[in-house]
Amino acid sequence: MRVEIVVFDGFDEIDVFGPFEVLSSAGFDVDLVAVERPGVVTSMRGVSLNISAVLGTGDGVVVPGGGWLNHAEQGSWAQAERGILPKRLVEIAPDTRWLASVCTGTMLLAAAGLLTDRYATTNRNAFEELAPYVAEVVDARVVDDGDRITAGGLTAGLDLGLWITERELGSNVADRVSRSIEYTRQGRVWHAPKKA
């Protein structure tokens, strides 16, 4: 299974590298991908990455946050304002098994209209902004609503990675990865009610 983690100028490092570490350790084929074209992408704290792949061929996609709460010139808020990444997410959604987000990456899924009538979480400081876009904002580390999986702030990306691992490969693999990275899952995964 191929997982793409989208990176853009201003992304938060832990939102990307937390899930990257977990999913890679579990054996997924994980690739960092750019929004539009290959090239150098710089994180919110100045880490530069040379990205060779572009969003669009993953079985699953993880969207990070960064820069939303302070409306930074680079980051998730800027990506929502530009509109290109939300549009791409809409285009690829039908061809993915799931779309996931970490922290304010959830706001990018929301801006794309991909969380309408869904249950979701994000950084607690963005709960009020998320509320108009979803059925309900859930105060949980990870919220699983079928083909949309959202995680709370920052380190919740580790829990997201472990939940995706358990969901796709089983609890034994997730437990092995948890032990190997010396991280104990925080809280339970909240599951959306079954649709009638």
Predicted pLDDT at 187: 85
How many Cα atoms occupy the beta-carbon half-sphere of 156 within 13 Å?
30
Residue 139 three-state SS? coil
> Domains of the chain: which residue ranges?
2-191
Residue 73 has pLDDT above 90, yes or no: yes
Predicted pLDDT at 70: 97
Q: Yes or no: is domain 2-191 CATH 3.30.70.2500? A: no
Composition of the chain by helix, strand, coil, percent to 5: 40, 25, 40
98-102, strands of its sheet edge to edge = 53-54, 29-34, 2-6, 60-63, 98-102, 148-151, 142-145, 189-191
Prediction pTM value = 0.97
Average pLDDT for 185-195: 91
Predicted pLDDT at 87: 98
- pLDDT tens by residue, 1-19: 999 999 999 999 999 999 9
Predicted pLDDT at 19: 98
Alpha carbons 127 and 150: distance in angstroms, whole number: 13
| Count of all residues that appear for the chain in the document | 196
Predicted pLDDT at 54: 98
Continuous segment of H or E residues that includes residue 179: helix 171-180
Predicted pLDDT at 77: 97
- pLDDT tens by residue, 49-69: 999 999 999 999 999 999 999
